[in-house]
Amino acid sequence: MDMVMNVISPLIIGDRILDVGTGFGTVIKALIKNKNINITSIDPEMWSFDMLKNTFLDEIYKNRLRLLKLSIEENGFNDNQFSTSISLFSAHHFKDVIKAMNEMYRITERSIIIADWTPESSEITNPHKPRELKKPMELVIDYAEDHGYIIKRNKMWYLVYKIND
């Protein structure tokens, strides 16, 4: 994960960050050290929120971190509310990949970053079967190709990103 964060960190623009798919809190842990940013992290499941709340209680109290039970597809955020949106290894969980990517575009002013596992990473770096990763990856990459994103593929993971001017 450190290697992935090193790759995507230069793509992060601004101080209003949306973390799509809280998971284990990888994005939060990597970015919260920067006192100049505010992070909103959303996940439709709250299984990691209690642990993260305990770890980052001070940041939550100072309104630098918000943990919200939401899906990206049905979020209620305003247009351009965030300067950067990041989905790190959670796109395969999107209920509707196209709607999720459209929403990320709508609510993000500058930088949209999506990284996820490839089918080749199945049961090596994650517990998913290749078929669980293949279709979402194809949808993300097709959307990215059609909407001017930059696409980078690695053996175990892929990255699509777009920086809006």
* Residue 84: φ, ψ to 5°: -135, 135
Task: Check residue 50 and give its pLDDT.
Answer: 87
φ and ψ at 50, to 5 degrees?
Answer: -60, -45
Question: Count H helices, E strands: the chain?
Answer: 6, 7
pLDDT above 90 (res 151): yes
pLDDT averaged over the chain? 94
* pLDDT above 80: residue 142: yes
Mean pLDDT of 129-134: 93
To the question of domain 2-163 being in CATH 3.40.50.150, the answer is yes
Query: For residue 146, is pLDDT > 80?
Result: yes
Percent of the chain with pLDDT over 90: 86
CA distance 78 to 107: 6
Going by C-beta distance under 8 Å and a sequence separation of 6 or more, which residues neighbour residue 2? none
Q: Is the pTM of this model over 0.85?
A: yes
pLDDT at 2: 77
Average pLDDT over residues 12-28: 95
Residues whose CB is less than 8 angstroms from the CB of residue 153 and which lie 6 or more positions away in sequence, other chains included: 118, 159
| pLDDT tens for each residue of 36-72 | 999 999 999 888 898 899 999 999 999 999 999 999 9
Residue closest to 115 by CA, chosen among 54, 14, 30, 15: 30
pLDDT at 116 exceeding the cut of 90: yes
pLDDT at 125 > cutoff 90? no
Interval 99-125 mean pLDDT: 95
Q: How far, in whole angstroms, is CA 43 from its chain's centroid? A: 10
The reported pLDDT for the residue numbered 123 is 85
- Number of residues in the chain: 165
